[in-house]
Amino acid sequence: MSGIWNTDPRVLNLVVDFVVLGVTFFVSCMLFSVEPGSGLFLQIIAYSTILLVCVRISKRAIVSYNKTIGEVSRQILGNGTGILVGTCAVLLLEKLFSVGGQIIAAVIFSSVMTFFIMGTLSPIVHKTPIVHKKSSSF
């Protein structure tokens, strides 16, 4: 049983982000009275997957573009950029498939909620090892 908890931290980060994205979208759909059904489950999976991919790609792009900014700033920029691009992609797909107006409002509200939730959870879940610098005495 202890082998389950000794997984790669990157996998845990992906799972946590995916669950956060899915739960926030589901809560948004319930708040905006989107009809639950088999189509909603597929939309939750599609929304979570698209946004997760966009967030991961944007975080990698930001790290490779500017390595001088701090880790918290990279998290914020990566999450914000990825959520914005992912939301645009989801809205475009929703528009192409002519889905009702409530789901579009739920996508926008969920994206805003996700930005704040991931901003709160990222420093807690995505911890990096602390490196102590040696201080020199003069």
Residue pLDDT, tens place only, 33-72: 888 776 888 888 999 999 999 999 998 888 777 667 777 7
Task: Report how far residue 92's alpha carbon sits from residue 88's, in angstroms, rounded to the nearest whole number.
Answer: 6
Give φ, ψ of 117 to 5 degrees: -70, -45
DSSP 101: H
pLDDT given at position 65 = 75
Task: Report how far residue 26's alpha carbon sits from residue 36's, in angstroms, rounded to the nearest whole number.
Answer: 9
DSSP 67: S
CB 64 within 8 A of CB 138: no
pTM of the full structure: 0.77
pLDDT band (50, 70, 90) for residue 124: low
Q: Which residue has the higher pLDDT, 48 or 135?
A: 48
